[in-house]
Amino acid sequence: MDRENIFARGWSHVLSTTNDLAELQGFCTRVGAPASALHLGGRWPHLDLKLVPRQRALALPDVQVFERTVEMLRFLRGQKSANVIPDTGAT
């Protein structure tokens, strides 16, 4: 999860390390985000969170938070290229 999208203040992206749609849907429910927060287009399926669901997600101890979106994407690309996917259950 990025702390805040630099192009949309007050919003955060949440990605699954394995692109697991069920994981993203479950996380959406867990933080109380609407189903419309899930976006399937583009390179990475992701959640766009704002307001209370975003704050809930940022407060979860099992969520890895990156300061910038580019850092999160670099981490995920590294995991994919190394074929090392951590089994943390975190989104």
Domain ranges for the chain: 11-82
* Gap between the Cα atoms of 6 and 55, Å rounded: 17
Reference 28, options 46, 10, 2; nearest CA is 46
> How many Å apart are CA 50 and CA 56, to the nearest integer?
10
So what's the pLDDT on residue 33?
A: 98
How much is the pTM? 0.79
Ordered strands of the 38-39 beta sheet: 11-15, 46-50, 38-39
Looking at residue 62, its pLDDT comes to 94
pLDDT tens, residue by residue, 47-65? 999 999 999 999 999 999 9
Q: Collect the ranges in the chain with pLDDT lower than 70.
A: 83-91
